Amino acid sequence: MRHLAVELAVVVAKDSPLKELSLADLRRVFMSEPFSDPSGTRLVPLNHPPKTPDRVAFDSLVLGMNADTVGKFWLDRRIRGQSGAPRTVDSLALLLKVVARLPGAIGYIRPSFIGSDVAALKVEGVLPGKPGYRLIFPG
């Protein structure tokens, strides 16, 4: 049985000054490197739980790692006393609520879940659903 491709939108609060990120900057944000929006607010990345389909897709597309490699990467960083992994949010509803209300919060969701409180960012200059959008994972 063949599955449909999964497209992931990177989202921030609707009033965020951040409108676009490169893939390299998105990777930096989700590798817990300090990164701020145009107003100087530090971005706070939020992840889906490990091994969920959207997390696996995001880790592969953005970080270039599979679930096991990601786990080892964060364990190694913790052992070395470096910054930890992004916070994991257990539900889509909570992720949307936190992104909408916490200054600097950034997450990723399927575009069909974008509501009035969050906005999709352009990634490499392209919005989700447009030709050339890069965060698509073959299902």
Q: Kindly report, residue by residue over 51-110, the tens digit of the pLDDT.
A: 899 999 999 999 999 888 988 888 888 888 888 889 999 999 999 999 999 999 999 999
The more confidently predicted of residues 133 and 3 is 133
Q: What is the per-residue pLDDT for 3? A: 61
Q: What is the per-residue pLDDT for 138? A: 82
Alpha helices in 14-128 (DSSP H): 23-30, 53-58, 67-79, 92-101
Handedness of CA 18, 124, 8, 69 (dihedral sign): negative
* DSSP bridge pairs for 13: 118
pTM above 0.85, yes or no: yes
Q: What is the per-residue pLDDT for 96? A: 96
